[in-house]
Amino acid sequence: MILLEYIIWSPDPVIFKIPLSFLGLPDRPIVWYGLLFAMGFIIGQQISYRIFKAEGHSEKDVDTLTTFMVIATILGARLGHCLFYNPSYYLADPIEILKIWEGGLASHGGAIGIFLALWLYANYDIRSKWAFVIPTSFSVKKRKKEGQSYFWVLDRVAIVVAITGALIRTGNFMNSEMEGVKTGTDYGVVYARATEGVLNFDEDAIEEVVFEEGTYDPAHPGYLPMRAVVKLKSGVKVDQAMKGFINGQLAYRLNNYQEVVEHVDFAASGRGLNYQIIDEAGAERIEINATGILRHTPQLYEAIACLIIAFILLALWNYKRAILNDGLIFSVFMVLLWGDRFFNEFFKMNQEAFEASLPINMGQILSIPLILIGVVVFLMTVRKKETV
């Protein structure tokens, strides 16, 4: 057995819901992606406290820097997604850009936002006063921070960005997004979250939907026999109306919805849905045979790479910062992170249809200039500091 062999992946992206119904409000879901995203900044802030303190700087600087980072990451990542991947749609209806809760963040846009925010942090003193959530005053003064040049800040922030990136990519995996291409081998993941959503067609009648793995056949590499089991609630029976729905609308959805057919094939027999109804001690369940498509997990590949990069950067800072020019740690970060991103894109499904016509996808195109920036900065800073 090897890592991720034969896994059918269908976690609920919602961890729990905050009950607000007693206030007449809808319950508020707490999701894995949001939690891991926030944890990235919280953990990064704690690491930054140690780094800044070790170099004689105030924790207040870290608080200010974290505020800049959070705002810049969210705004930059959202605008990057809208403008890089689907500009015609969002420019035609700019209000859609604000609907960040519907998903759509691009790491390349987040990187650009961070670069701009850190430049402002290093070169300007920005202060504001707030009354609850309403800003009452705002001032901007050009003032370089002593001992914190732009490249100095980038070096330190690179470490925590790599760690945050690992948590965000793990959140992508929990969300079953950024799925990988087919492995064509005897390992991989069947992304079944969308399929589970379609199979849970009546919450009043269905207790739960689970997936069972079949026996892998080496003669058909990259495909996993599986069974979708729809367990009905106590007392619910499959009547003629439900059978009609299963053979009609449900079969159509399972065999035509792109989010389903890219990952689970229910039409392998060529005869519609291959299912049976099982009655066990008065509880009925619907068992539907299918074939899962094994795919790569580029989210986890990138998360692991980010942790390795963070370790390398932290080691450079801890043992070599006294002899390194400002900017060198940042340059290593840029080459390693975006180089990995370029390579890792080969394992990802395209995010937008237009990418199929490109020689390399949009993620790779956007990574190239960032890699080149890292190379240029590295060449500028590779020499040791001269003795003053």
- What does the DSSP assignment read for 283-323? EEEEEEEEEEE-B--HHHHHHHHHHHHHHHHHHHHHHHGGG
Comparing 2-16, 20-34, 374-388, the range with the smallest average pLDDT is 374-388
Is pLDDT at 335 greater than 80 in this prediction? yes
286-330 pLDDT, tens digit each: 999 999 999 999 999 999 999 999 999 999 999 999 889 999 999
pLDDT band, residue 106 (cuts 50/70/90): confident
What pLDDT score was predicted for residue 388?
A: 37
For residue 1, the model assigns a pLDDT of 38
Phi-psi region of 12 (alpha: psi -120 to 50; beta: other; left: phi over 0): beta
Question: What is the pairing mode between strands 189-191 and 264-265?
Answer: unpaired
147: Cβ–Cβ under 8 A, 6 or more apart, which residues?
Answer: 55, 56, 57
> What is the reported pLDDT for 224?
94
User: So where are the chain's domains?
Assistant: 14-179+298-381, 190-293
pLDDT, one tens digit per residue, over 198-212 is 999 998 999 999 999
Is it the case that residue 33 has pLDDT exceeding 50? yes
pLDDT at residue 271 greater than cutoff 80: no
185 vs 135, higher pLDDT: 185
Residue 373 burial (CB count, 10 A): 17
Q: How confident is the model at residue 97 (pLDDT cuts 50, 70, 90)?
A: confident
- Examine the pLDDT at 81 and tell me if it is beyond 90: no
Using N-to-C axis directions, what is the helix angle for 32-54 and 150-174, rounded to 10°? 160
Residue 147 has pLDDT above 80, yes or no: yes
The mean-pLDDT minimum among 104-113, 209-218, 356-365 falls in 104-113
Write out pLDDT tens, residues 121-138: 888 877 666 555 455 666
Give the C-alpha separation, 79 to 106, whole Å.
Answer: 8
* pLDDT at 165 exceeding the cut of 60: yes
For residue 108, what pLDDT is reported?
77
Helix (H) or strand (E) holding 42: helix 32-54
Q: Quote the mean pLDDT of the chain.
A: 87
Considering Cα of 96, then 98, then 104, then 107, what sign does the dihedral take? positive
pTM of the model: 0.84
* Structure confidence at residue 307 (pLDDT): 97
**CA 162 and chain centroid, separation:** 14
Pairwise CA distance, residues 208 & 22, whole Å: 26
> Under CATH, which architecture does the 190-293 domain have?
2-Layer Sandwich (3.30)
* 84 vs 54 pLDDT, higher one: 54
